[in-house]
Chain A
């Protein structure tokens, strides 16, 4: 009984609050976590991409398109672009939140960046899928 009481005093939070794991902002844990998960996924994808590009140096368009159109390469390219742009928009959001004090400008930049990242990821994905179909 005494120990229970002591723990409540030390934690100073409700049990529900502890379980949710959110701070005063009521958000942010997921943003932080997804930034880490995408970073982890990008480690092998980036190494694979750099090595692949070295293998493609000097290759002409049909050769590059044939390479990108192969199922494994296409799947890894799709993963690379989607995870890259997801990580990018999460990271740039933090940069804006740190430096942009004008609230309207900050919201505008965050939303514009998310929109641009979505369009760029979709453009790259459509390009990869097109190379799958035509090669």
Chain B
């Protein structure tokens, strides 16, 4: 028993045995509503973008330093792991952008009506998918076309 919080979780059964009280609802068996997914994704993409911002700085520094440094940055981005990171970065950017716009609408007092919560959560996910696909298709067309 570590602290008072733990002490509150200890109880006796009807036959006198000491047991730990069960926790409910537990995250592992909880069916996630889409609003919950939408909310935590905004934070996860925020942290991903924080790490991904290193790529932006590296790209700018490489471009400023010269052809060799820039080729090194481009080589990394064009590698399989680089492309995968860039795909995650693009999707995170668009998710955080659209979810951020939703937050700004909430701050203005719009979008709290119960019937719109689920559809708008899905719309943010859908817009992310569409925008990410559009950027990558455009990139493919530019590079191959």
Query: What is the interface of chain A, defined by CB distance below 8 A to chain B?
Result: 36, 39-40, 42-43, 46, 50, 54, 57-58, 60-62, 64-65, 68, 77, 81, 84-85, 88, 91-92, 95, 120, 123-124, 126-128, 130-131, 134
Contact = CB atoms under 8 A, between A and B. Distances in A.
B60 interface: yes
What 6 A-B pairs come out closest when comparing CB atoms? A127-B64, A61-B70, A127-B60, A130-B64, A61-B67, A64-B63
A interface, by DSSP: helix, strand, loop or mixed? helix
B104 A36 contact: yes
Contacts of A124: 56-57, 60-61
Given A57-B142, A58-B143, A127 B53 contact: no
A54 B145 CA distance: 13
Given A36-B104, A88-B50, A131 B63 contact: yes
Contacts of A81: 56-57, 60
A30 B64 CA distance: 35
A77 to B, nearest CB: 7
A64 B50 CA distance: 24
Contacts of A88: 49-50, 53
Nearest to A61: B70
Contacts of B63: 61, 64-65, 68, 127, 131
